[in-house]
Structure 1
Amino acid sequence: MSVAIENFVKAIYKNGKSNTNDTKPGNIAKELGISSAAATDMAQKLAAKDIIVYKKYQPLKLTEKGNKMALNIVRKHRLWESLLFKLFDLSLHDIHREAELLEHQTSDLLAEKISDYLGNPKFDPHGDPIPTASGEITTTDTSVPLSKASEGKNYIISRLLSTDKEFFDFCSANALKYGNTIHVSKQFTSSKMTQISINNNTIVLNSDFSNIIYVDEKE
């Protein structure tokens, strides 16, 4: 499959898992930086190949074949992120950017070799689950957005849902990384801000950040 097709299928999968984006052709077009007409044309072509379900004016849906393709691409992307982070200590922004390129040039054999080398990780450095070679996600997501976390409790950062460089630079500078523990001091409901403490530092986050940092309550 071409890079364009793989990116289109992956965008449908990712938007379908998001709470803020749907999978109508216009939204997929915006995600990929293409025209709505080009997205509609691609959708019709992929529907003819039984990769997606296309109905005019309706959100796009992946078929079983399309979902398997998407998970294979996502697996390769997240394995590359994990490898680049381990070997070169690249930033979370940089590993995403490089993995966007490498995922399309990676055979299933190489993906397996990377997974074996890393010890078959279940999560990438952003906290996103890595699908298995058979196209399954075997982990259960129990995380909540930091904005929904309860005051006075400790949480472990489980996912950082962004591709924005400034967001990751901020997280890096404040030790907000996958696996670290934070304490939720206060939820300012009316102003949509969250106060946390980490490593003896107090940080106040607005909803733009607290909605894309996911946490699990620490036992």
Structure 2
Amino acid sequence: MSVAIENFVKAIYKNGKRDNNDTKPGNIAKELGISNAAATDMAKNLAAKDLLKYQKYKPLKLTDNGTKMALSVIRKHRLWEALLFKLFDMSLHDIHREAELLEHQTSDLLAEKISEYLGNPKFDPHGDPIPNADGEITTSDTSISLSNANEGKSYTISRLMSDDKEFFDFCALNGLKYGNTLVVSKQFTNNKMTQILINNNTILLNQDFTSIIYVNENK
């Protein structure tokens, strides 16, 4: 399959897992930087290949074949991220950018070799789960977005769901890393902002950040 097709099904899968669950062609087009017309044409083409279900004005839904393809690409992407992070201590943005290129050139055999070398990791450095060789995610996800976290509670950062360099630069400067602990000191619901305490520093985050930072409550 072409790079464009793999990226399209991957975008549908990932968008379907986010809070807004928006997999309409227009949103996928925005995600991939293509026109709405191109996204619609691609959706119709992939529906004919039994990779997704297409209905005009409706969200796109992957078939079993489409989901299998998406998870295969995601597995290779996240394994490369884990390998690059381990070997070269590259930034989260840089490992994502390189993995975007490498995922399409990686055989199943090489992916398995990378996984074995890394000790078959369950998560990548962003905290995203890595599917196994059968295209299954065997870990349970109980995390919530920081925007939905409760005041006065302590949380561990479980996922950073972005590919934006400025976002990762900000996170690195402020200790917002996978596995780090924070406390939600105040939720400003009307203004959609969250105040947190991390590493003895108080930070005020807007919803653009809190909607893509996922956490698990510390019991």
Question: What's the RMSD between the two structures over aligned residues?
Answer: 1.3
Alignment-derived partner of residue 6 in structure 2: 6
- CA shift at 1:116, angstroms? 0.8
Q: 1:102 maps to which residue?
A: 102
Q: Which amino acid aligns with 1:59?
A: P
> Which runs of 5 or more structure 2 residues have no equivalent in the other structure?
none
Measured against aligned partners, the alpha-carbon deviations of 1:74-95 in whole angstroms (never above 9, x if no partner) come to 1001111111111111111111
Q: CA deviation at 1:177?
A: 0.3
Query: Displacement of 1:128 after TM fit?
Result: 0.8
**Structure 1 equivalent of residue 52 of structure 2:** 52
Q: Which moved more, 1:44-53 or 1:99-108?
A: 44-53
Which whole-Å deviations, capped at 9, do the CAs of 1:160-215 have from their partners, x for residues lacking one?
Answer: 11111111101001111000111222222233222222222221212221221111
SS of residue in 2 equivalent to 1:22: coil
Judging changes above 3 Å, is the alpha-carbon distance between structure 1 residues 39 and 190 closer, same or farther for their aligned structure 2 residues?
Answer: closer
CA distance in 2, matches of 1:30, 1:213: 21
1:9 partner SS: helix
* Corresponding position of 2:119: 119
Tell me by how many angstroms 1:56 deviates: 2.2
Contact 1:183 1:197 in 2 (8 A): yes
Relative to structure 1, is the Cα distance of residues 37 and 166 closer, same or farther in structure 2, using a 3 angstrom cutoff? same
2:157 matched to which residue of 1? 157
Amino acid at match of 2:47: A
Number of residue pairs aligned between Structure 1 and Structure 2: 219
1:14 CA drift (Å): 1.2
For structure 1, which runs of at least 5 residues remain unmatched after alignment?
Answer: none
Aligned pairs for 1:67-82 (under 5 A) are: 67-82=67-82
Q: In the TM superposition, what is the alpha-carbon distance from 1:11 to its structure 2 partner?
A: 1.1
Give me the whole-angstrom Cα distance separating, in 2, the residues matched to 1:169 and 1:178. Answer: 14
Output the CA distance in 2 between the equivalents of 1:195 and 1:57: 38
Q: Which residue of structure 1 lines up, in the alignment, with residue 190 of structure 2?
A: 190
Give the Cα–Cα distance (whole angstroms) in 1 for the partners of residues 32 and 214 of structure 2.
Answer: 25
Residue type of the partner of 2:197?
S
> Cα deviation per residue 1:17-68 (whole Å; 9 max; x = unaligned)?
1223522222222221222222222222211111111222222111101100
* 1:168 alignment counterpart: 168
Q: State the TM-score, normalized to the length of structure 2.
A: 0.95
Task: For 1:141, give the aligned amino acid.
Answer: D
Residue 140 of structure 2 aligns to a residue whose secondary structure is coil
Quick one: percent identity of the two aligned structures? 79
Pick which of 125-134 and 199-208 moved more: 199-208
- TM-score where L is the length of structure 1: 0.95
Distance in structure 1 (CA, Å) of the matches to 2:141 and 2:39: 31
Q: Deviations over 1:80-134 (max 9, x none)?
A: 1111111111111111111110000000011001111111111111111111110
Q: SS at the partner of 2:156?
A: strand
> Do the aligned partners of 1:21 and 1:27 also contact (CA within 8 Å) in 2?
no
Moved more, 88-97 or 184-193: 184-193
Query: What aligned pairs does 1:126-145 form with structure 2 within 5 A after superposition?
Result: 126-145=126-145
